[in-house]
Each structure stands twice: as structure tokens, then as C-alpha cells.
Chains A and B, each alone.
Chain A
Amino acid sequence: MENQIPEDSGTAGGGFWWLLQAISGALLILVLGLHMFAHHFVVEGGLRTYTDVLAYISNPLIFAIEIIFLLVVTIHAMLGLRAIIIDLEPGKGLLQLTNIGLSILGVLILAYGIWLALTLQSLAGN
């Protein structure tokens, strides 16, 4: 089996981004595994009820784990999209635009996810 990974795949700007992609991927295996198990595989019917979700997210430890999960998955996803775009051999200007666009998208995803989790926590308190 030949190694089909282009030598410059996702590495524009240095190997740092490739390493971050690999580290976030490794972390994801752990936190996504936890997320899937806790949310779907040990819950009857595969989904928590409304009350259970609110109670679950109100636990500070779970809240922290879910936010870490969101952070790691967003970093991994944005770096993955960047690697694909780099494979399409964009010009310097387009790559810069991609970096800015993906950074904004990543921050928006994170901000919305954190806001949603905090709002659900406050709903649980009512």
C-alpha cells in the first residue's frame, strides 16, 4: 500500500498544524468515546429525556468535559477543512482567506456551543 498522504498535506505554515491535528484527533478518540458512551450507549432508548439532559449538563464535571469535547472537535474539524483546502493548491491570498474564515467559523461554533450549554444549565436551575 503506497503512502498517499501528500507531503505538504495540511502543513502550510509548518508541521505545528499537522501535530495539533494529530493531538486533537487522539484526544477526540477519548472524549468522543466518553460522549458516545455516556449519552447514547448506557441510556435506555439511546437518548436522554429532557429532564435528564438538563440534569446531566448541570453537573460541573460533565459540563467541563463537554466543553473540552467541543473545543477539541472544533479545532480538529477546522484543521481538517484547512488540510483539504490546502490539497486543492490555493494561492497565498486564498489560503489567508481560508485561515481567517475557518478561524471565525471555529470561534462561532465554540461560542454557540458554550452559550447553548450555559443556557441549558440555567434552564435546569429554574
Chain B
Amino acid sequence: MEHIQKPVKDTARPRNPLMAWFDVRKRRVGSWAFALNRLTGLGLVVYLLLHLVVLSILLQGEAGWDKFITLARHPLFLLMDVVLIFGILFHGLNGIRVALVGMGIGVRSHKTLFWILMVIALVALVISAVMVFTI
């Protein structure tokens, strides 16, 4: 008689899919990439809305915009720009991997692809950070 083994469920892992994002136990890089992709995506949606709000300052005329430019050149603001660029780079480059793998391209080498893209992201982030603080 054939013995059918039932799939083993990890009962310790949260059943709520959202909570499972943040459950780091026994997680591999792919899980971190998945969770970070979603988190950066959410952050970028919030930024999209904020960006529209900020651009609305232009409707207040030159004085209002000049005030914003002064604020935007504060080092803390520039640091937030770097965080934003990190989000864009990670989400964009990891998104390329997700799309390629989803279409069946580079499935076997997606680990290598991930690390190559992350090296590109890191180099671009360093260059961008230097530009943000020196332009």
C-alpha cells in the first residue's frame, strides 16, 4: 500500500500573509527580496502621492517654491533623497529579475542575476548619493 505523506505545515509561521513578510525565521535571500520589494513598492506609492503634494507648492508662486527649495537642500532632506533612490534602485532592479523569472527567462540563474543586479544597485546608489550631496 502506497504511503502518502501529508505536506508538513510550519505551524510557527504566521498564517496572515502580511505578517509572514516580517517573519524572518529560516528565511532565504529570495524571501527577503520579496518582502523588501513589496515594502519599497509601498514606500514609492506613498512618495508618488507626496510628490504631487510637493509639486502643488508651485501653485503658491515663486516665494512658496523658493521656501521649499531651501528646505529640500537641508542635509536631512538630502539623506531622505538617498533613501528614496535606494527604494527606486532596489524595486526597479529586483523588479527586472522578478519579471524575467516570471516569464521563464533566467530561472536557473536567478540567484546570480539577483546578486549582479544588487551590485549594480549598490554602485548606482553610491554614485547617486555623491551626486545628491555635491550637486
Contacts and interface: CB of A to CB of B under 8 A. Distances in A.
B110 A84 contact: no
B102 A87 contact: no
B92 A29 contact: yes
B57 to A, nearest CB: 10
Interface string A36-49: 10001101111101
A118 B18 CA distance: 40
Contacts, number: 101
* Interface residue SS majority, chain A: helix
Contact of B52 (A47, A51, A84, A116): A116
B99 A88 contact: no
A46 B72 contact: yes
Contacts of A87: 17-18
Interface in A70-108: 73-74, 77, 80-81, 84, 87-89
A77 B101 contact: no
B135 A46 contact: yes
Interface residues of B, number: 45
A54 B132 CA distance: 23
Nearest to B103: A22
A55 interface: no
Contacts of A63: none
A58 to B, nearest CB: 13
B104 to A, nearest CB: 11
A49 B38 CA distance: 34
